[in-house]
Amino acid sequence: MLQIFKISGDSLYPFYKDGQRVICRKVFKDTKIKVYDTVVFEKDAYGMMIKRVRSIDDNTYFVEGTDPMSIDSRNFGALNLKEIKYKVLFKF
């Protein structure tokens, strides 16, 4: 299942820019997610977010933006796989 997202914000600059679009594939239990993959997930207080996976430990995924002030796992901790909704395939 594919989904297009439009990025709002520059926390992943220069890899992804504000206004850029990404095509993503839905994540299932058996989806392989690697370090440096970019993923889309939902956090209650923030809504749907996009960040890069910086490390994987005990099936939890620590995600970060490239900007030092990015809101990411440094704020809300590592993600479980079930929290990750989509994996980015490519940008355009």
76 makes contact with another protein (CB under 8 A): no
Among positions 17, 25, 35, 89, the unique one binding another protein when judged by CB under 8 A: 17
Sign of CA dihedral 37, 40, 43, 48: positive
28 makes contact with another protein (CB under 8 A): no
Please report how close the Cβ of residue 54 comes to another protein at its closest, in angstroms: 15
Please report how close the Cβ of residue 33 comes to another protein at its closest, in angstroms: 17
For residue 42 the two structure tokens come to: 């939902």
Q: Please give the helix or strand (H or E) that residue 76 lies within, else none.
A: helix 73-76
For residue 56 the two structure tokens come to: 């994987």
Please report how close the Cβ of residue 47 comes to another protein at its closest, in angstroms: 6
**Distance separating alpha carbons of residues 79 and 90, to the nearest angstrom:** 22
Among positions 29, 32, 36, 47, the unique one binding another protein when judged by CB under 8 A: 47
